[in-house]
Structure 1
């Protein structure tokens, strides 16, 4: 018996179908041999071997028919393997997509946090810049005042004795008196 009902990779679901194909392959010794020898080959290689058998005029038709049934069983086996492989690939792609989605969400979250952090840093820098500008304006005003005072000091004549500064009280008393007491 070439097809084993216990083999899950055979691709057959029903025992009666497997029994029928086993019976057809068993009509000639070449049928089960063909199936068992070619389970590890690719479909193209199996098909090439079957073509060689079918074109061999020395082989009896029972051998050709048994090999054809074996080829049918191998075709189902390959289809079953392809389906399993496809299922695994689809699952892998699904998992890969989930991973990418998770990574994209993480990156988006990190980008939001970084954007917020940079915005805070920008606001803090703007605040410090405004403070620095205010301090600079203060220093510039002080500089301008000191310049003005220096300018006035340079323009006024220097006297060895300091003069009394006239106050509003002295001005209200009237004219100054000369040394001899006359009002001027």
Structure 2
């Protein structure tokens, strides 16, 4: 008689720890004036970028550091809010004001953000799943679907990689 074992959902650190880790990351970025804290993605690992959006209510510039992967000329991130409830403020801002700026290891770039849908979302979600095999289990903790956010080169951007 075989006993079927249910896979135990992966554990997340406590919410306070996740928030503290990102706060420390932002602090390191500030202390070192942007020379430390950002990195490029690798074959099976995400990178980090600094995203600056326009506040949906205040109209002020708001910055956050998020994980990303590359998809051709596009940068792709997840609006996961530390796998907690609700949408992250940066995503709410980006939906209202889709034009934003990202800072990468190799410089600054203008982008326009949108949520991936349909086949594009499925393809990009699969790409993230290659990096994090627990992605679906973490996403299941959220009461709503996690947006896959595409940061495409913005208007007036002369990105030669778009021509490849």
Per the TM superposition, whether the score is higher than 0.5 is no
- Which fold has the larger relative contact order, with Cα–Cα distance below 8 Å and residues 6 or more apart in sequence? 2
- TM range, smaller chain: under 0.3
Q: TM-score, normalised by structure 1?
A: 0.19
TM-score, length-scaled by structure 2: 0.21
Q: Which has the higher helix share?
A: 1
| Structure with larger Rg | 1
Q: Structure 1 or 2: larger strand share?
A: 2
